[in-house]
Amino acid sequence: MAKIVFLNLTDNCFLKLKRAQIMTKSITKADLVWLTYNTEICNTCRTVDDCFTQDIVFQVYRPHHLDKLHQIFSDYKIVDTKDKKNNCYAKIKNFTINDLYYAIREYNGDMFLNISDNKVYFVPIDRVKYRRIFNRTPIRILINLPDSVKLNILKSLRQKCYMSAKGKEKSEDALYKKTNKLWALLQLHIPSQFMEDEMRKVRLIAGEIAQLPNIKENIEGFRHLPLKEQQNLLTKVCEITARHNHIDVPNIRFLTQKQTDADAGLEKWISAEAFSYEKNVCINKSFFKKDDGVQALSLAWHETTHVAQAYGDYSKYPLVEELFNQNLDFLQKMPQTYLFHPQEEVVYSLEKQFIEKVVEFTGVKTNDATFIYEPEYDIATQYIHRSMHLRG
């Protein structure tokens, strides 16, 4: 069981408290909500005292979010860094975890230090308020709430770390018992212009794939290609997809079925030909001898697009960027809500278009295996059509 320490359980002096109140005066509630939803605190604190002395370090998943951090902390010197994986961090000089703690406490939020891993975790702001709404509101009302309220409720339902194993179990059990309410909250507006932009990417990606050497022969004979050539082709699809989404090429891993089953990034209820997590695209090479060529390409495209959704720049569509936020990943990890997560609905609806464009541009022959996920495509297409006509 994780050992938890509340940040305020300390003999902190009055001067430190006063200093914190002065320093956090300009941070608005909206900024704090954004911080708790879009960043992680990356400091390592072996004791609570470390929280009063260390300059706070935030990680952001989307590189352009560094601009937002600079805006929030415009009165402070900020040091931006990247690690070997191109993850982005910002250290706020002369602003401590303790300073942030007192600011968040003013707005019904919380933070705690987990001394099992020495990390500091956020508790969503207004968590109790929104969970009460979730628990008490009938489905017919939830489904008609504005998108902003639906998102606030969904945000309140996810935490990366809980204050006890019992609390985590209780929270997860409550969600599983209210799947219908989660479905209601996931009825969200998807801008039609956004889908047009994504479809334009699909056409460009498929068009570039069609220009690869011997592509028609390689797709039609995919299952008979040497393993290295199969991997090279799917790697090229990942690279093309990443470039058109303006992200770094993800870490592409080709795994056996045994390695796939053992991988910590895959939920154990899923039997997957491919999956993604963080900046990894994992492709199960055990399927290569029976995969349809176009379908194999679509797996690489699909999972790379998921990485783009989590790390790319969707600031042109703020609502979409929120829908794709990693803090809603708990919905993809539940079998009842997996297919109804906006990320999955968008990608599955586009995947059919991707396949059709690859077929059109390359002239390859299709078979029943080409559209093996037809039920998912139909569900997603219906969802997106309905979502584009919902009010925001």
Residue 114 forms beta bridges with which residues? 4, 119
Burial class (CB in 10 A: 0-12, 13-18, 19+), 70: middle
Same domain? For 211 and 83 the reply is no
| DSSP code string of 373-384 | THHHHHHHHHHH
Dihedral sign, Cα of residue 116, residue 120, residue 122, residue 123: positive
Confidence class of residue 174 from pLDDT cuts 50, 70 and 90?
confident
Confidence class of residue 119 from pLDDT cuts 50, 70 and 90?
very high
Q: What are phi and psi of 112, to 5 degrees?
A: -145, 155
Same domain? For 57 and 140 the reply is no
Q: 10 pLDDT exceeds 70?
A: no
Q: 260 pLDDT exceeds 90?
A: no
Residue 40 lies in a domain: yes
Q: 7 pLDDT exceeds 80?
A: no
Residue 365 lies in a domain: yes
Single residue among 185, 205, 231 that ends a domain in this structure: 185
Confidence class of residue 240 from pLDDT cuts 50, 70 and 90?
very high
Give pLDDT tens digits for 216-237.
999 999 999 999 999 999 999 9
Structure tokens at 98: 């303790």
Which residues lie closer than 8 Å to 181 by C-beta, 6 or more apart?
134, 137, 139, 142
Rounded to an integer, what distance in angstroms lies between the CA atom of residue 291 and that of residue 50? 53
What pLDDT does 269 receive?
A: 55
Q: 392 pLDDT exceeds 60?
A: no
Q: Which segment of 69-73, 119-123, 270-274 scores lowest on mean pLDDT?
A: 270-274
Same domain? For 311 and 326 the reply is yes
Same domain? For 149 and 70 the reply is no
Q: 259 pLDDT exceeds 80?
A: yes
Same domain? For 148 and 291 the reply is no
Residue 392 lies in a domain: no
- Asked whether the beta carbons of 146 and 167 are under 8 A apart, the reply is no
Q: 62 pLDDT exceeds 90?
A: yes
| DSSP code string of 193-256 | HHHHHHHHHHHHHHHHHTTSTTHHHHHHTGGGS-HHHHHHHHHHHHHHHHHHTT-PPPEEEEE-
Alpha-carbon radius of gyration of the chain:
23
Residue 80 forms beta bridges with which residues? 90
Give the residue, 369 or 343, on which the prediction is more confident. Answer: 343
Q: 29 pLDDT exceeds 90?
A: yes
Q: 59 pLDDT exceeds 90?
A: yes
Q: 25 pLDDT exceeds 80?
A: no
Same domain? For 364 and 339 the reply is yes
Give the residue, 173 or 11, on which the prediction is more confident. Answer: 173
What pLDDT does 369 receive?
A: 61
What pLDDT does 175 receive?
A: 84
Give the residue, 6 or 235, on which the prediction is more confident. Answer: 235
Report the number of distinct structural domains present in the chain: 3
Same domain? For 102 and 153 the reply is no
Rounded to an integer, what distance in angstroms lies between the CA atom of residue 55 and that of residue 98? 10
* Angle subtended by helix axes 97-105 and 29-38, to nearest 10: 120
* % of the chain beyond a pLDDT of 90: 60
Exposure string of 196-209, with b = 16+ CB inside 10 Å and e = fewer, is: eebeebbeebbebb
Which residue has 């941070």 as its token pair? 27
Structure tokens at 47: 């004791």
Same domain? For 239 and 289 the reply is yes
Same domain? For 43 and 141 the reply is no
What pLDDT does 2 receive?
A: 52
Residue 359 lies in a domain: yes
pTM: 0.89
Rounded to an integer, what distance in angstroms lies between the CA atom of residue 361 and that of residue 364? 8
Q: 16 pLDDT exceeds 60?
A: no
Confidence class of residue 17 from pLDDT cuts 50, 70 and 90?
very low
- 190-199, 266-275, 370-379 — most confident range: 190-199
Q: 209 pLDDT exceeds 80?
A: yes
Residue 6 lies in a domain: yes
* Averaged pLDDT, 106-133: 90
Give pLDDT tens digits for 277-310.
899 999 999 888 877 899 999 999 999 999 999 9
Confidence class of residue 15 from pLDDT cuts 50, 70 and 90?
very low
Which residues lie closer than 8 Å to 269 by C-beta, 6 or more apart?
335
Contacts 24+ apart (CB under 8 A), 105-109: 105/8, 106/24, 107/29, 107/32, 107/33, 109/32, 109/36
Residue 88 lies in a domain: yes
What pLDDT does 11 receive?
A: 36
Give all strands of the β-sheet with 251-255 in edge-to-edge order: 251-255, 280-284, 274-277
Single residue among 125, 154, 177 that ends a domain in this structure: 125
Please name the amino acid found at residue 328. L
* Angle subtended by helix axes 342-362 and 192-209, to nearest 10: 40
- Asked whether the beta carbons of 201 and 273 are under 8 A apart, the reply is no
Rounded to an integer, what distance in angstroms lies between the CA atom of residue 208 and that of residue 128? 49
Task: Please give the mean pLDDT across all residues of the chain.
Answer: 87
Same domain? For 331 and 349 the reply is yes
Same domain? For 63 and 94 the reply is yes
Rounded to an integer, what distance in angstroms lies between the CA atom of residue 341 and that of residue 323? 9
Same domain? For 215 and 254 the reply is yes
Domain that holds residue 49: 1-125
Confidence class of residue 386 from pLDDT cuts 50, 70 and 90?
confident
Single residue among 138, 169, 185 that ends a domain in this structure: 185
3-state secondary structure of 71: helix
Residue 97 lies in a domain: yes
